[in-house]
Chains A and B, each alone.
Chain A
Amino acid sequence: MNSAEFLLWVRGPGLNIALVIFTIGMLIRLLEIFMLGRKQNLAELRANGVSAGLRTIFTRSTPADKNSMRRSMFTFVAGYGFHIGLFVVIFLLTPHIQLIQSLLGFGWPALPTPVVDLFTVIALISLMALLWRRLTHPVVRYLSTPQDYLVWAATFLPLLTGYMSYHHLWFPYSWLLGVHILSVEFLLILFPFTKLTHAFTLFISRWYTGMMAGEKGVAS
């Protein structure tokens, strides 16, 4: 297989296979959660939970109390650096928007490539720092499962190969681009079966927590 055939496969059948597995897997996951049902709430509602639920979705993204933030400054900075970087890279790079547009029929403006490039570097460094911590911090290390390392690698590779493709590092661009797309396909396929699902379920559970607390009339 030469680079052109490889690229053709990952851009065509490979991407489609990954997308099918991703959508089917994620829908099963989410529908299972939504259809679980909740126990009937017999208590009188103190307030409407909807607004509290919505609020919690956002407030949990901000460091509410200085104390816990200070205590885990490292996780805080690296975690945010990584997640924001990843978000910018995925959703604000022109070629990616072009792909999303071909899928959904609409797009949005992109950031200049050097800016996205900077965010890629931030995300890469943050991810490496987080891995280093996972390996050196005794408690985190003890709590880590093989899946944690797998998911780390699956997230790191698309970023790394994307960075290498953009800068044409070491290998011919056609190969790099092919490997980059393949690594994304790998990530998409792993997505429904690993903790990566948190990218979706996070909002459900935040909403749920906020709503429950709201109905009881307490702050979440």
Chain B
Amino acid sequence: MSNNKPLGQALREQGVSRRGFLKFCATTASLMALPPSMVPAIAKALESARRPSVIWLSFQECTGCTESLTRSHAPTLEGLIFDNISLDYHHTLQAASGDAAEAAREAAMEENKGNYLLVVDGSIPLGNPGYSTIAGISNLEMLKEVAEHAAAIIAVGTCAAYGGLPHANPNPTGAVSVEEIIKDKPIVNVPGCPPIPVVITGVLAHFLTFGKLPELDHLGRPLAFYGNNIHDRCYRRPFYDKGLFANTFDDEGARKGWCLFKLGCKGPVTYNACATIKWNDGTSFPIEAGHGCLGCSEPNFWDMGGFYNALSESTMNLSRTAAVGIAVGAAAGTASGLLNRRKKSKAEAAHETVSVKDLQREDKS
């Protein structure tokens, strides 16, 4: 699949007009919060960029991320750019299989040593290397091998970025994220379950334009896409502020589109581009469809308490804890009270009556 046509030419061959291409560059620029003056630079860089070699490793994952990125909607420029990277290895998408596939991976690694991008989806099991293998190679081994000569790593999806579903309590496979294993390479986390398609092409475009990875937040996510809080950008926010909430999914509040906080919306602690870029070609996003945000772009979102429990509720059973506290407290309080009473009656018993005589001064004698 190695093909060294510049990206611009490849896109034109696919019937993408210059205008459409520039529009994509402008959108990308604005998505990444770059000034409009950057658009020509982006266009120029993308136009002449050689298709980067990309090796895509899928570990403990559900293929949802690949689905999201490749089949989200009718062909778009994001999709075409994605198609036009030189995807040298992706065991779900590539035609080759078995030894031939592994050979392709090794060839790509050799040919582009130090320059290829490594995209990972899925978490890596540390519990037992046999939990997840590809062609008999454990995930851990393959990740280390391919990461060694990668220019940069993009961890796609919450599993690769933070462990995701496999990492959920009690984490039977000992699943960890990419950044917990690879410490010496630039890593971009593109979390989401799945991530928004345009985010990954945005990161790719940034890499192609500037030759480096975009600016990241404290969780390793590109700030341009994950800098916004869902709750801050949510169109239901005025209802939250007014205190108008849906209590069930079919009550009056739900029909009127009131805030979903009580129904478990985790939007207030979630940073993602859903509320701004939206899904399915900008159609809508989950909260618009009437369901609270699950917080899928945040670490440990599976363990944030029930999906339908409000964010302010405990992740554990508080009532049980209170019951234990009350039982122990009642017992300890009663015991202490009884001890105090005993002390009191002992003191009463030991009390000697004092008469006036006892109090008389004896210095006269």
Contacts and interface: CB of A to CB of B under 8 A. Distances in A.
Decide whether A and B assemble into one complex: yes
Interface of A: 2-5, 7-8, 11-13, 15-16, 19-32, 34-37, 94-96, 98-99, 102-105, 110-114, 168, 172-174, 177
- Taking residues whose C-beta sits less than 8 angstroms from the other chain, chain B's interface range is 35 or more
Given A27-B330, A31-B330, A94-B245, 17 more contacts: A3-B218, A8-B300, A11-B314, A12-B314, A16-B314, A23-B326, A27-B325, A35-B333, A35-B341, A96-B312, A102-B318, A103-B319, A110-B243, A111-B243, A112-B242, A172-B218, A174-B269
A69 B219 CA distance: 54
Q: Which secondary structure characterizes the binding site on chain A?
A: helix
A19 B333 contact: no
A113 B319 contact: no
Given A8-B304, A12-B314, A19 B322 contact: yes
A27 B338 contact: no
A168 B332 CA distance: 42
B97 interface: no
Contacts of B333: 27-32, 35
A8 B325 contact: no
Contacts, number: 145
Contact of B243 (A5, A35, A37, A113): A113
Contacts of B298: 4, 174
A24 B313 CA distance: 21
Interface string B328-350: 11101110111011001000000
Interface of B: 162, 218-219, 229, 231-232, 240-243, 245, 261-262, 268-269, 271, 298-301, 303-305, 309-316, 318-319, 321-322, 324-326, 328-330, 332-334, 336-338, 340-341, 344
A92 to B, nearest CB: 9
A15 B316 contact: yes
B326 A27 contact: yes
A16 B300 contact: no
A37 B348 CA distance: 14
A4 B328 CA distance: 32
A11 B315 contact: yes
B299 A4 contact: yes
B136 to A, nearest CB: 34
- The 6 residue pairs across chains A and B that have the minimum distance between CB atoms: A31-B333, A27-B329, A35-B337, A23-B325, A95-B312, A4-B299
A104 B261 CA distance: 19
B202 to A, nearest CB: 21
A94 B262 contact: yes
B291 to A, nearest CB: 18
B223 to A, nearest CB: 12
Given A8-B303, A12-B315, A19-B322, A34 B218 contact: no
Nearest to A17: B321
